Amino acid sequence: MERHQINPPLSADGQVIGEGDFDAQARQTFENVGAVLEQAGAGFDAVVKLGVYLTDIGRLRDFGRIRDEFVVTSEPPASTAVEVSSLALPGMMIEVDAIAVR
């Protein structure tokens, strides 16, 4: 079964986490991905593709460093990164589109 989920850096009540703090937003985004995976009975090892949307592509190395705290680094998922002028909510710096297969 394939699961597809877009994950912004939002708290459970829909508030942007870590406005102005890229690392905090990236970690929250991956924590949100992890929660969705857990609900589906899967883990980060099931993630096969990440689509990454950044308001500053210069943060790509920071993204990779934080991503590696969560994914299986020996077999990381395929990834595409795109710089965008803005995201859905003011203050968002990152959004991740994750595809997982169980």
CA distances from 5 to 11, 33, 39 (A): 16, 8, 12
At 61-73, the pLDDT tens digits run 999 999 999 999 9
Query: How does DSSP classify residue 14?
Result: S
Verdict on whether the full-model pTM lies above 0.75:
yes
Across the chain, mean pLDDT equals 90
pLDDT computed for residue 6 by the predictor: 59
**Rounded distance, CA 97 to CA 80, Å?**
10
Instruction: Please tell me the predicted confidence (pLDDT) of residue 12.
Output: 78
List the domains of the chain with CATH numbers: 2-101 (3.30.1330.40)
For residues 90-102, one letter each, b for 16 or more C-beta atoms within 10 angstroms of the residue's C-beta and e for the rest, the string is ebbbbbbbbbbee
pLDDT per residue as tens, the chain (102 positions): 555 555 677 777 777 888 899 999 999 999 999 998 998 899 999 999 999 999 999 999 999 999 999 999 999 999 999 999 999 889 999 999 999 997
